[in-house]
Amino acid sequence: MHLRFTSPGEHEPGTVFSLLKQAWAPLWNSVLEEKIRQFDREVTEHAATVGACTFITCLDEKPVGMASYDPRQKPEIGIIGWNCVVPRHQRRGIGKRQIQEIIRIFRENGIRKACVTTTDEDFFVPAQRTYESCGFAAARRTEDTNIEYELELV
Ligand SMILES: CC(C)(COP(=O)(O)OP(=O)(O)OC[C@H]1O[C@@H](n2cnc3c(N)ncnc32)[C@H](O)[C@@H]1OP(=O)(O)O)[C@@H](O)C(=O)NCCC(=O)NCCS
């Protein structure tokens, strides 16, 4: 399986939106749509910041997933953001490879701890398993059913 992590600028505008829309289809609603549209806009309009911290994963040159991160609290913390794999290509190890790529980038930048938040709902069980499989442990549960995962990198 040949995976390549590419810059959003190499793809048509809206590619990030389309990937996220496919992966989030079971939960789709107008609020989620606006959030994802907003993120997609930021990736394009702020190519040197948000866009540079977002990659589109290509399998045999075709976009199949994406992942993003926020390094602004470095070196203490790096936060993993939007990430997904389109349903057709899930459960092939791609989601895990994306998170491992972000962990690699964090280490390269001297970041000491990786953090990611997901939700304690059935839809997010694959995300929970993916983070656990990459070594993350649940550090906190919040009242709004979020689970905050952490991974020490040093
Ligand atoms: C989360 C997501 C990116 C995972 O992508 P993926 O390519 O299917 O994941 P992988 O194949 O790399 O699997 C990673 C691990 O999770 C496990 N896993 C994946 N899907 C699972 C499922 N439905 N049930 C149980 N375990 C699952 C795999 O077995 C693997 O564990 P292992 O390494 O111990 O064998 C994908 O399911 C997705 O896009 N979900 C919707 C969007 C989302 O939730 N994004 C994250 C928001 S916080």
Q: Is the dihedral of CA 154, 134, 22, 7 positive or negative?
A: positive
Ligand 1 atom nearest to CA at 117: 48
Q: What was the pLDDT predicted at 39?
A: 98
The domain limits of the chain are 3-152
Q: What was the pLDDT predicted at 1?
A: 86
The whole-model pTM stands at: 0.98
Q: Please work out whether the CB of residue 133 comes within 6 Å of at least one atom of ligand 1.
A: yes
Query: Edge to edge, what strands does the sheet with 54-59 contain?
Result: 3-6, 54-59, 62-70, 77-85, 113-119, 146-152, 137-141
Contact call for residues 3 and 85 (beta carbons, < 8 A): no
Q: Which residues of the chain have pLDDT under 70?
A: none
Q: Is the dihedral of CA 133, 134, 138, 140 positive or negative?
A: negative
**7 Cβ contact partners less than 8 Å away, ≥ 6 residues apart:** 51, 52, 55, 56
Between the CA of 56 and the centroid of ligand 1 the distance, in Å, is 17
List the alpha helices (DSSP H) in the chain: 15-23, 30-45, 94-108, 125-133
**CATH number corresponding to 3-152:** 3.40.630.30
